[in-house]
Amino acid sequence: MHCPRSPLLFAPGILALLVGCRDLGHFSTGEGQAYCGSLVAAPAGARGFLPEALPPSLGMRLTLDAGALSAVPGRVTTDDSNRGFCRPQPLFAEAALRAASEAEHDAISLLEFGDGREYNGLFWIDSQCRGTMLGVLSLMKSGKVELRLFKPGATGATDPDREGFAHFDLARRDDRCGF
């Protein structure tokens, strides 16, 4: 059960009565399941996430426990161990999504963008070699999941220390994505 947060109301019981709670448990992955997908291609889609000489192809696996959205609800792994910045390791290897609890009682926690989303949340995620990134996790009414990652970079930096943005569109599968 997930109850939306409000920066104005801190009493969970009152908030649940006024706003209502949503059961997001159907988004949790079971044994052998994961959300799988790849980088949504855009002109600058892979900047900071993959070496520029490579095509913008980056697969992702996300396991999810929707009951832990306010703590550590999931783990992320990418399929770039043989071609990415962190080779011979992938960019993310069972990296924990950690709730950005610092923003929990701020208006940013009520983030809404676009239709079709049941939940949006802010998370920290540590890469194997590119540092900590900010993630926006969206649980979609369609049953899919979106994860957007923001990677900080040095001003004027180029590959691999440049800033980056990545958007992943993920669907549930029973084969743990094949990697």
pLDDT (tens digit per residue) in 86-127: 999 999 999 999 999 888 888 888 888 888 999 999 999 999
| Residue 88 belongs to some domain of the structure | yes
Say how many domains are in the chain.
1
| Residue 38 belongs to some domain of the structure | yes
pLDDT band at 64 (very low <50, low <70, confident <90, very high): very high
Q: What is the pLDDT of residue 13?
A: 46
The Cβ of residue 1 has, within 10 Å, a number of other Cβ atoms equal to 10
Q: Which residues pair with 140 in a beta bridge?
A: 117
Structural domain span for residue 95 = 25-178
Q: Give the pTM.
A: 0.86
| Residue 174 belongs to some domain of the structure | yes
| Residue 2 belongs to some domain of the structure | no
| Residue 12 belongs to some domain of the structure | no
Q: What is the pLDDT of residues 15-46, one digit of tens each?
A: 444 445 779 999 999 999 999 999 997 656 57
Contact 138, 122 (CB under 8 A): no
| Residue 9 belongs to some domain of the structure | no
| Residue 10 belongs to some domain of the structure | no
| Residue 81 belongs to some domain of the structure | yes
How far, in Å, CA of 149 to CA of 133, rounded? 7
How far, in Å, CA of 173 to CA of 176, rounded? 6
With a cut of 90, say whether residue 142 has pLDDT above it: yes
How far, in Å, CA of 58 to CA of 170, rounded? 12
Q: Where are the alpha helices (DSSP H) in 10-158?
A: 12-19
